[in-house]
């Protein structure tokens, strides 16, 4: 019998049908990736495997068999016996997924004791054992730490340790690396890979990131609006997709190995200088707790060009962006700005006021610059909305009526309203699905070509940065470790950190992924 057997699964939240007639199975020891964009129903399906929709008001139909348990028919006690013992789940955000009040080791021991008789001491010993297995250094001591004392990667390791505690037959991982930096993501994926080989447990990996799936599973299931679109061996589906949706999805995925979508002829390095930073520093905190978020960065941005800034979380890229716009004054160093600069923010939801119509939001910079004539403002805003691909009638509508990609267009329109010469995009497409991401980056490139804009494109995603940038600067711990033409830096990185970053990016081709996994191990060993 299969480890997982799902047939005709449907899940509804009120009137919304999140999953509709989904069927799939997973053999013992197999690895299946469930891939889809947000709202495709992939996470809801994963939750259903452990009966986690029970008591939430969601309606679940169809049949689900997991490790010999009929999940839809099982009573609460049978379900509890399944959860954690036969099938364990790893969640997306490892910080909020652990209890802040208890030591990590105690939390794992608690889970162990739910499913095993035995002393507290034995459970604690098991916790240390699994923490050690997932690569927590000095596991005895660190098992007494609370989650906030762990780094993001260690927290995810701890959560995986919790999953391992009872030696389950199935590991369900729901976006396990989405909240992590790319180098940490690679470590976690490698860990999952090794654990699977070692324990023979099955893996169901839910992810929006095709590359993550390519790295980790044997088979993929592509989902769209609650239905399965295509299913097959990872090598076939990702290399030669049959369905149009899969093809479109794969085409939208930015590739770190590929050239940029050219935005037209560019004055290479001879445009006039708009912003120049010379040894700028930004220090937060005082005295002993003082930390330099940006520590001596020098760069120039010229008219019409795109400078990409990549770095992992905490590298200081956002702080640098805020200084370039003038939201922050550098603690020291010289920053000259000879241009109108605007910013587009990461989160299109929280950076728009939900109580004001989007037209009003876009009109803000116009009013701020002294425009008083309502008719002029209205016409100008309608033009701007059209310019970013929204209907001019959107003026009177409110942010919640728009999708994430549309809201980001509103954010761009608002930035354009002030007629900037330079726009700083801080993770402007990070919160978007790949297809939307591709549309928004295309819009930015088009605007740049038509308006002669300069862009500073800040992102953690190396592939996206490669798509849009002329030049790229790699940041680490407040400093720029490498800067140069985009092809030069990506094609022939000189700095070891850049090499490490590039090696960590998941490859879309499973065959290539295997090669790169080996390369990472070599790099780590060296």
Residue numbers at the binding site for other proteins (CB under 8 A)? 50, 52, 79-85, 88-89, 91, 93, 96-101, 107, 110-111, 114-115, 146, 148, 159, 162
Least distance to other proteins from the beta carbon of 120, Å?
A: 14
Q: Which of 485, 410, 420 is nearest to 455 (CA)?
A: 420
Nearer to other proteins, 67 or 428 (CB): 67
Nearer to other proteins, 49 or 501 (CB): 49
Nearer to other proteins, 115 or 477 (CB): 115
Q: Angle at Cα 46 formed by Cα 41 and Cα 51, nearest 5°?
A: 115
Least distance to other proteins from the beta carbon of 125, Å?
A: 18
Q: Which of 429, 452, 421 is nearest to 337 (CA)?
A: 421
**Which H, E and C letters describe 392-456, residue by residue?**
HHHHHCCHHHCCHHHHHHHHHHHHHHCCCCEEEEECCCCCCCHHHHHHHHHHHHHHHHHHCCEEE
Tokens 């992924």, residue located:
513
Q: Which of 430, 349, 362 is nearest to 395 (CA)?
A: 362
Least distance to other proteins from the beta carbon of 297, Å?
A: 28
Least distance to other proteins from the beta carbon of 469, Å?
A: 35
Other beta carbons less than 10 A from residue 397's beta carbon: 16
CA distance 156 to 152: 6
Nearer to other proteins, 148 or 355 (CB): 148
Q: Provide the 3-class DSSP secondary structure of residue 271.
A: coil
CA distance 156 to 422: 38
Nearer to other proteins, 173 or 440 (CB): 173
CB 407 within 8 A of CB 344: no
Least distance to other proteins from the beta carbon of 83, Å?
A: 4
Tokens 């990549």, residue located:
310
Least distance to other proteins from the beta carbon of 288, Å?
A: 12
Nearer to other proteins, 100 or 137 (CB): 100
Least distance to other proteins from the beta carbon of 44, Å?
A: 14
Q: Which of 216, 212, 213, 170 is nearest to 192 (CA)?
A: 216
Nearer to other proteins, 111 or 458 (CB): 111
């Amino acid at each position: 019998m299969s480890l997982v057997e799902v047939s005709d699964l449907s899940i509804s939240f009120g009137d919304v049908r999140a999953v509709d007639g989904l069927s799939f199975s997973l053999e013992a020891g197999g690895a299946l990736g469930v891939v889809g964009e947000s709202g495709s129903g992939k996470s809801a399906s994963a939750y259903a495997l452990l009966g986690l929709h029970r008591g939430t008001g969601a309606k679940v139909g169809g049949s689900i068999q997991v490790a010999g348990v009929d999940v839809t028919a099982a009573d609460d006690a049978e379900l509890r016996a399944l959860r954690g013992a036969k099938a364990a789940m790893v969640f997306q955000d490892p910080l909020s997924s652990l209890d802040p009040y208890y030591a990590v080791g105690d939390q794992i021991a608690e889970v162990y004791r739910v499913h095993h008789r035995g002393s507290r001491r034995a459970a604690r010993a098991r916790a240390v054992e699994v923490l050690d297995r997932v690569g927590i250094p000095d596991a005895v001591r660190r098992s007494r730490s609370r989650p906030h004392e762990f780094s993001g990667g260690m927290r995810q390791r701890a959560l995986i340790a919790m999953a391992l505690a009872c030696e389950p037959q199935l590991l369900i991982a729901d976006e396990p690396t989405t909240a992590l930096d790319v180098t940490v993501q690679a470590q976690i994926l490698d860990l999952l890979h090794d654990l699977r080989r070692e324990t023979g447990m099955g893996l169901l990996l839910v992810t929006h990131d095709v590359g993550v799936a390519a790295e980790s599973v044997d088979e993929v299931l592509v989902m769209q609006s609650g239905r399965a679109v295509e299913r097959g061996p990872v090598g076939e589906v990702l290399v030669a997709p049959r369905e149009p949706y899969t093809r479109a999805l794969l085409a939208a995925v930015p590739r770190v190995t590929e050239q940029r979508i050219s935005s037209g002829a560019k004055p290479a390095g001879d445009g006039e200088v708009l912003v120049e930073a010379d040894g700028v520093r930004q220090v937060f905190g005082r005295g002993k707790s003082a930390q330099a978020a940006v520590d001596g960065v020098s760069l120039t941005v010229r008219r019409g060009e795109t400078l990409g800034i990549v770095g992992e979380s905490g590298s200081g890229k956002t702080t640098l962006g805020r200084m370039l716009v003038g939201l922050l004054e550098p603690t020291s160093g010289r920053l000259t700005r000879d241009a109108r600069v605007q910013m587009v923010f990461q989160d299109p939801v929280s950076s728009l006021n939900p109580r004001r119509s989007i037209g009003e939001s876009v009109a803000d910079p116009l009013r701020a610059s002294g425009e008083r004539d309502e008719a002029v403002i209205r016409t100008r805003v309608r033009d701007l909305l059209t310019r970013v691909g929204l209907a001019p009638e959107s003026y009177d509508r409110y942010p919640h009526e728009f999708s994430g990609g549309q809201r980001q267009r509103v954010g761009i329109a608002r930035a354009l309203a002030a007629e900037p010469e330079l726009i700083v995009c801080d993770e402007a497409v990070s919160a978007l699905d790949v297809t939307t991401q591709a549309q928004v980056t295309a819009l930015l490139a088009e605007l740049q070509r038509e308006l002669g804009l300069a862009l500073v494109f800040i992102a953690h995603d190396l592939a996206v940065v490669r798509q849009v940038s002329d030049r790229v600067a790699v940041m680490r711990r407040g400093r720029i470790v490498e800067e140069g033409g985009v092809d030069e830096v990506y094609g022939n990185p000189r700095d070891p950190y850049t090499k490490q970053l590039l090696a960590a990016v998941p490859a879309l081709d499973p065959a290539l992924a295997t090669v790169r996994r080996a390369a990472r191990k070599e790099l780590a060993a060296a």
